Each structure stands twice: as C-alpha cells, then as structure tokens.
Chains A and B, each alone.
Chain A
Amino acid sequence: MSEREVLELLRENARYSTADIARMTDLDESEVATAIDDLEAAGVVQGYQAVVDWDELEEERVRAEVELNVRLDRETGYDDIAERLARFPEVTALRLVSGDYDFDMEVEGDSIREVSQFISEKVAPVPEITQTVTHYVMTSYKENGIEFGDGEEDDRLSFSP
C-alpha cells in the first residue's frame, strides 16, 4: 500500500522531495526512494511534467483536440496507426476511445496556422484516416487534476479559536 501512497503524493506534486514524502507517509527516506525507483522501473511512472496554464503566458500557444476516424484492413490495426501518429512531436496525447470516433488526439503548436497545417498535411493524408474533426482549445480550466484560476486568496482570519 505504501507504493500507492507514494504514487498519490507524486501525482499531487511531483516536486515533493523524498524527504517530504517520507515525512508525510511515515516511511524512511530510503524506502520512499526505493518505491519511486521501482515505480519508474516498472513503467508505472512514465515521466514528470509541469502542469502549465498557457493563458498565463504572454506568448501564444495553440492546442487542439482532434477526433480521428480510421478504417482498418487486414494488415493494419489500431496499434499500427497509433504508432505512426504518436511519433509526431506535435502530438502530445493520443488515446483510443469508444464512441463516435476512434482516436482522441491532442496537438500543440505555436499558431493556429501551424496546427492546421500539421493536421492537413501530416495527419489527414495517413491512408487509414477517414475523417478528422479539430477542436481548438479556447480556455483551459483544469489540467491533470489541477484547477486553474487566479489563486484564490485565503481570506480566513490569521488567528481564530
């Protein structure tokens, strides 16, 4: 169970130090370090990234959610198409989903033009892809479990009984 607890804390804030996590879980620092190593080695933890609110940054960053429909044949399966798409650096997330379309793809670029060009020139021509529907992200309110906002002030009294 301690591995699960360590994982939850890393999900909460990957920058907690092993010492911080040890303090919170009653484990030794070395046990925490081992648990993290094991989680990484087993491929449970695949990486650590910052959660960014691009709206707070001056420069433009364009993101889009793209619905993809594909047609499979005897030689080509979902995994083959996914492998090909995932290789593009513009694709930040790719998931096979149930419902009206097959893949849910997240794309990032520096401008709408760049993202549009990528989809029309690199994605749409993939022979198995039969349809793309692109949704540009206008505002992001929550990413990776973190709500974006102005950082609400703590207006509680500094002292209370």
Chain B
Amino acid sequence: MPLDLSDRVQTVPPSGIRRFFEIAEERDDVISLGVGEPDFATPWAARDAAIASLEVGKTSYTANRGKRELRERIADYVADGFDLEYDPADEIIVTAGASEAVDLAFRALVDPGDTVAIAQPSYISYEPGVIFAGGEVCSVPTSKADEFTLTVEALESAGADEADLLVLCYPNNPTGAVMSEAELEPIAEFAREHDLTVLSDEIYAELTYNGSHTSIATLEGMRERTIVFNGFSKAHAMTGLRLGYALGPPKAINAMNKIHQYTMLSAPTTAQHAAIEALDSCDEEVREMVAQYDRRRQFVLSRFREIGLDVFEAKGAFYCFPEVPDGWTAEEFAEGVLREEGVAVVPGDVFGAGGEGHLRVSYATGLNDLREALDRIETFVEEHV
C-alpha cells in the first residue's frame, strides 16, 4: 500500500454515530434530537458586524492569539460572568472553535506515554485528541447515582491519581450535569494532591439553569494548574463561525500559541469581528435563548417522566439523558426509534464510560418538533416495552 497511515490515526475508531446517519437518510420525516448545536441563528448584531468587517475588507490575518480587542472583551466577559481573571496579553488565546483550543492543549501538554484522565460520558473528541497527541486515556466513569458529577471515589477507582491531566466538561455534554462549587472542591484537592493539570471545557457555562456556573479555576490553588475552554458556538449560536478560546497561565497559553501559529496562524478574522459585537451588545439575545432552552428542558424532562423513562434532572447545556428501558441497549433503542418513528437520538455509550443504557436527547430544537418527537417516542415505548 503506497499510503502508510500513522498508528495514531488507525487506533481511533470511526464515530459511533456514523451508521445512524445512513438510517436517518432513508426517511424524509426525521425529527432530529441528535444535534449538538443551537437551532437559533447568530444574533443579528453579530452577523452585521461580520458583514461590515467584510465590506471594508478586514480579511487579513489577525494577531496569532486573536485580536487584542477581542481578547480584552473576553477578559471582561469571563471576569463579570464567572469570576475568572485573565490577562488579555498572555493568558488568553482565541482559536478556531473551542475544539481547536482543546487539541492545542493536548498537544502542548501531553508527551507520548502520558496519561489523561477523562470524566465520562463526555464530548466525543477528547479521547481521540489524547491519542493524536500520543497520550493514553484513563476513563473515569460517572453515574446517575452521583448525578453524573465526578467524585474522588471515581477518580481513585479509575487510577486517575497516576494520571498527568484531567479533563472535565461541566455543564456536561451529553448528560446536562453541572458541578457546584462544593462538588468541585474535592476534585480540586485531588488535582493538587496528585499534581494533575486540569483541562476544563466550559463551553456550556452560560447555559446553566437555576444557578450560576462555577469554574474549577476559581478554586484555591487551581488557577495555575487549569486551562479553561470556552467559545461562541453554544450560548451565542455561532457554531459555523468557528470561534473559541482558552484561558490559562502564560506558560501554557504561550505553548499552545506556538502550535497554533504554525498550524492555524489565527482564528477566522470575520468571526472575531462578530464575536466582539456578540460580547458588546447581544446579552439580551443570549438571555432570551437561555430562557427558551430552559422551557424546553422542563418540557422534555417532564415528558420523559410521563412516558415512563427514568431521566436525570439535567441542569445545564441543552441535553437530557434518559435511561432506556430494561432489556434494551442504548444502541438498539436509538436505532428502533429512528427506524420506526423517525426520531434521531444518540446512544449514550458513544460518549464513553458511564453512558451505557442512556440516550442523549438534544432540545436545541423548536417546541413543536420536540412535542411531536416525544409523542413518537411514547408510541414506540407503548408498542415495544
């Protein structure tokens, strides 16, 4: 074979949801609750700013770390919203989506043979990211019994005390779990005690219902060992504009910037102009979207309970995580509702250890579609369970 692929690439299996795409394409009446992106359009002011920047020809590279103006706005935003104090000069880097920021962190911090503990179930890209960087993954399963929060017991029994890094994602994709300050405190202590660097993906921070978001980086002694990720995809409905950022100590951010400047050079310029405007003037739209998600969240949770599927009280992001009935695997159930009822949901095991037996149901879809989709799931349950 003329092309000899790297072992790292070959090690990573294809996405567990690829097969579902093909089934979904066989029907034309599929309601998708399988999407991890907002159904709202980017607020107009942000779109206008992007258009205006194009009209005046602002289409060249920006500073590698992102426009200074944007980094300053981000510093103000995270300080006001989440008590995170970072210097725009050397503690913030703007990236092409939070995904790039996560990848940069793995490549900047992971040496071959290093172990990265990942609290799971979680966003599907962490594990491949670790493998591409040459590291090894230590899965730390969370469970419904602990409301899908990470505990020290789980870290210990998974052997995470031997790890070099720990990846957290709260509010969580796919469970919708959040972690309070009291729940994060022992995790922070564990990280300090075992000298773990923490990568905290907080892209859903703004989508925290009935309470405020706490970043682990705000806890004592954590700022110097934590990198926080966030971005504009979720709360600002800017998925396609590809804009995220990382916050961390200068040593880490400078190392990440080194990789970024040799690969991406700088995040998309048009998107950076949109993001400045999004932070300047779109608070009202963000609040309105969050309120809509919250209503849908309550609707979906309540419907699942009526249908008779156990569901954990998701408090963040835009997902809920019901259990499949006894005797079913998540994959069988998800395939069944897709084939018979045309409702797309994602089996929880795709998101790693702890996700088995659950479904990820996204409510980033209009209420009428949600109502119809849940009626169809009810029909499926009545007929088969």
Q: Is the CB of A159 within 8 A of B371?
A: no
Closest Cβ of chain A to B13, distance in Å, is 14
Closest chain-A Cβ to B47's Cβ sits at a distance in Å of 15
Chain A nearest Cβ from B324, distance in angstroms: 17
Assembled-state Cα–Cα distance A26/B209 (Å)? 13
A156 to B38, CA, bound (A): 10
- CB atoms of B344 and A161 under 8 A apart: no
Q: Shortest beta-carbon distance, A28 to chain B, in Å? A: 11
B254 to chain A, nearest CB (A): 29
Determine the interface band of chain A, counting residues with CB < 8 A from chain B: 10 to 19
Q: Say yes or no: A158 contacts B36, CB within 8 Å.
A: no
| A76 smallest CB distance to B (angstroms) | 44
Chain B nearest CB, measured from A3 CB (Å):
16
**Which residues of A (13-63) have their CB < 8 Å from a CB of B?**
13, 16, 20, 22-26
- A interface SS class: loop
**Contact yes or no, A158 B35, CB < 8 A:** yes
Q: Does B30 contact A (CB under 8 A)?
A: yes
Give A26 to B303 CA distance when docked, in angstroms: 12
From A13, A156, A158, residue with most partner B Cβ within 10 Å: A158
A26 to B17, CA, bound (A): 33
Interface stretch (choices B59-67, B255-263, B294-302)? B294-302
A159 B35 Cβ-Cβ under 8 A: yes
Cβ–Cβ < 8 Å partners of B346 in chain A: 159
A-B CB contacts (within 8 Å), total count = 56
Most interface-central of A16, A26, A159, A161 (chain B CB within 10 A): A159
List B138-174 residues whose CB lies under 8 Å from chain A.
173
Query: Within the complex, which residue of B32, B39, B123, B303 is in contact with A159, where a contact is CB–CB below 8 Å?
Result: B32
What is the distance, in angstroms, from A154's C-beta to the closest C-beta of chain B? 7
Query: Nearest CB to that of A22 among chain B residues?
Result: B302
Scan B4-30; emit 1 where CB is below 8 A from any A CB, else 0.
000000000001010011001000001
**For A22, what are the chain B residues with a Cβ–Cβ distance below 8 Å?**
302
- The chain B residue sitting closest to A23, CB to CB, is B302
Docked complex: A143-161 residues within 8 A CB-CB of B: 154, 156-161
Could you tell me the distance in whole angstroms from the C-beta of B90 to the nearest C-beta in chain A? 31
Given A20-B299, A25-B295; A161-B125 close (CB under 8 Å): yes
Asked, given contacts A161-B124, A161-B125, whether A156 binds B39 with beta carbons under 8 Å apart, the answer is yes
The 8 Å CB contact of B24, one of A16, A154, A158, A161, is: A158
Shortest beta-carbon distance from A98 to chain B in Å: 27
**Chain A residue at smallest Cβ distance from B20:** A159
Interface residues of B in 344-370 (CB under 8 A from A): 344, 346, 365, 367-368
Which of the listed residues A13, A25, A26 has the most CB atoms from chain B within 10 Å of its own CB? A26
User: A158 to B21, Cβ gap below 8 A?
Assistant: yes
Residues of A within 8 A of B (CB): 9, 13, 16, 20, 22-26, 154, 156-161
9 nearest CB pairs, A to B = A23-B302, A159-B34, A158-B32, A24-B295, A158-B24, A23-B299, A159-B17, A160-B36, A158-B344
B residues in contact (CB < 8 Å) with A? 15, 17, 20-21, 24, 30, 32, 34-37, 39, 123-125, 173, 295-296, 298-299, 302-303, 344, 346, 365, 367-368, 371
Given contacts A24-B296, A156-B37, 12 further A-B contacts (CB under 8 A): A24-B295, A24-B367, A25-B295, A25-B298, A154-B32, A156-B35, A158-B24, A158-B34, A159-B21, A159-B32, A161-B36, A161-B124
Can you list 7 contacts pairing A with B, beta carbon distance less than 8 Å?
A: A20-B371, A24-B296, A24-B298, A26-B298, A154-B32, A159-B24, A159-B35
